[in-house]
Structure 1
Amino acid sequence: MLTLTDNAQAAVKGLTSEANLPDSGGVRIALTADQSQLEMSLVTEPEENDEVIETDEAKVFVSADTSPILSRHTLDAGQTADGIGFSLKPQEDPAAAPEDPETA
């Protein structure tokens, strides 16, 4: 499942608050019509088959066809010259972490 950093949660909360979305609203992530890119949009509620990721701070909806692509990623946010920017990073696989030689 897609996870959110604290920065991403704060950015989503800020965007949804500024847009005066209802409590059911959030940010939706989906593939573009040609399925070549991801797009984010502010929506008043998730679509029927969306995966809903809800934290204390934010709601993110991931379209059903996009969810498998993002299932092992983390959404982050940060300030850019153009405003808030979002990025996706692969989640670290704890099984792939090197062993601590002191505990092996």
Structure 2
Amino acid sequence: MLTMTTEARAAVESIVANANAADTGGVRIAEDGTGANGFALSVTPEPQQDDTVVAEAGARIFLDETAAVALDDKVLDAAPDAEGAVRFALLQQP
């Protein structure tokens, strides 16, 4: 199952809080619809019915079915870019 680094957990918590999402909110990772195996991130107030929920230390990520399979062996990491925006990256689990 997807896991998060400490930095990714903090970034997800901050993004959700800044979006004024409900306590049940989180970041949703879903197929982006381009057919190029890409994913889109969005802040949502709750998971969709078939989403897999990954919750760690207050950070919640919702994965659609495609993302849940594709990211099963990954670690989500985050770091600020040169402009101070958050950049997410996927790493292999050890």
4+ residue runs over 2 A deviation:
none
> For 1:9, what is the secondary structure of its paired residue?
helix
> For 1:46, what is the secondary structure of its paired residue?
coil
Give the 5 Å matches for 1:1-104. Answer: 1-36=1-36, 37-82=38-83, 83-92=85-94
The answer for unaligned runs of 5 or more in structure 1 is 93-104
* Segment drifting more, 29-38 vs 71-80: 29-38
User: Percent identity, aligned pairs only?
Assistant: 35
Letter in 2 for 1:85: R
The Cα of 1:33 is off from its aligned counterpart by 1.0
Distance 2:79 2:32 in 1: 23
Distance 1:33 1:65 in 2: 11
Distance 2:93 2:57 in 1: 21
Instruction: Please report the TM-score for the alignment, with normalisation by the length of structure 1.
Output: 0.84
Deviation per residue, 1:62-81 (Å, 9 max, x gap): 10122110000000000102
Report how many aligned residue pairs link the two structures: 92
The answer for unaligned runs of 5 or more in structure 2 is none
